[in-house]
Structure 1
Amino acid sequence: MHMLQLSKRLQAVAELVGECSVAADVGTDHGYIPVYLVAAGKAQRAIAMDIREGPLSQAREHILQYGLEQAIEARLSDGCLGLKPREADVIVIAGMGGALMQRILMQGEEAAAAAEKLVLQPQSEIASFREFLLRQGYQITAEDMVREDGKYYPMMAAKFLGKDAYGTVRNAGKEDIADLFESRIACKFGPLLLEQRHPVLKQYLLSQQKQKQKIQKNLKANARQNVAARTEELSRELMDIERALEFFAGKESGL
């Protein structure tokens, strides 16, 4: 049987998982991630989880196709609710909206907090999702970003440190770390992506800058009263992009 070829996005998600004993994939869809992780020897066992029977039956087909039914369980579950604490050392939640992922982590907090690692790839509300992780006591331990079919996909690994972890960091005098993660710019674009000067993030920032400058120019050309608020909003967004781009010029102060 040939090795399963993942999309660029899912391959990057799998790379963030690394090696583990048991991986749980929440919202598994076709079961690509669990099949890949077990077939590649990155996970000894996996749990493919989905709230709907349809995607789960497709996942079962893929599991059988690769002869991995002894190592991968397909399980009907609403988010992490069907997962016991410490049943999986890595939990993957990828390809959903950030608000839905927040709900999944809140409802399945016991299992999520007990995991060694969470691998998360929100499709939307990314800035507020990063802020949510911080406020809930999770530390972002790694970040990556890929571009596929003209779209940009940021993703992250996180670990639960405890609800009081944020306060502890600040009180220990390590305010530079806390401030970096608290910063609106860091939450918007990714603290570790900025720190690494990630090339795909730079590509994204330059693309957004060009797009927003073009919109701003068109709005100014049609200088009507009712576009003033949108013009101001674009100016703020462009300022944020410029501040993020300073990292790539090596000007790290003022984040």
Structure 2
Amino acid sequence: MYELVERNLQTKVSDIEWQTRLDLAACYRLVADMGWDDLIYTHISARIGDSEEFLINAFGVAFDEVTASNLVKIDIDGNILDGGEFQINPAGFTIHSAIHQVRHDAACVLHLHTPATIAVASQRQGLLPVSQYAMFSLPSLSYHDYEGLAVNPAEKQRLQHNLDNNNHLLLRNHGGLTLGPSIADAFMRFYDLNRACEIQLQLQASGQELINIPQHIIDNIFKQANIVHSGKTGGQKAWPAMMRKAYRLDPGFAK
């Protein structure tokens, strides 16, 4: 009764869908390895190509159990299109569907409850300009006030308004969220956001006076990062190494 149902969809879906499944399953495994998971809760969703079909984790499956084939295909309303024996947590897709509805540039939405993002999101000043990692998030960061469990459809419009055109969101008293034009970008953006939050908390715990980075440097950071990455995003540059790491951790995710 405790064994997962196994299936293999590699020859049953398009090449685009299978590659999305591979990248997303790897992302779940990497998140688990980083210690960012939350038992069977929180979600990472990914759009399949240019369609209005998405992949998300099956409800009840731990992040380190996710495979390319046990991800569930759904529509924008969370209706299951292909899940086999698997179901999803409908409430868990509320936040993701709100974003996918208005941000068609978002191929991936990553929402996690890490202690560091919850802690900083619960501070009135939010993320402070006190580390280089914060520089990658601050120019594209917004906040959404806590309204309880995200099960109220009426909250979607407020969440969409608060996110606007930003790629990073701190949900007050709740956690962090990033999105990107690829799974790689969403993952790397969360890495930077979470690391910035961790560093801020460590600095605050030291009790020492903090040195804020000047605003003109914050404003210029995207231009500097573009030069460093030769026109590519950090996600595009780092993802091949992250995929190799996922295979080293457990190649079973690719089934």
Q: Which has the higher helix share?
A: 1
Q: Which has the higher strand share?
A: 1
| Structure with more relative contact order (C-alpha pairs < 8 Å, separation 6 or more) | 2
**Structure-2-length-normalised TM-score:** 0.34
**Structure-1-length-normalised TM-score:** 0.34
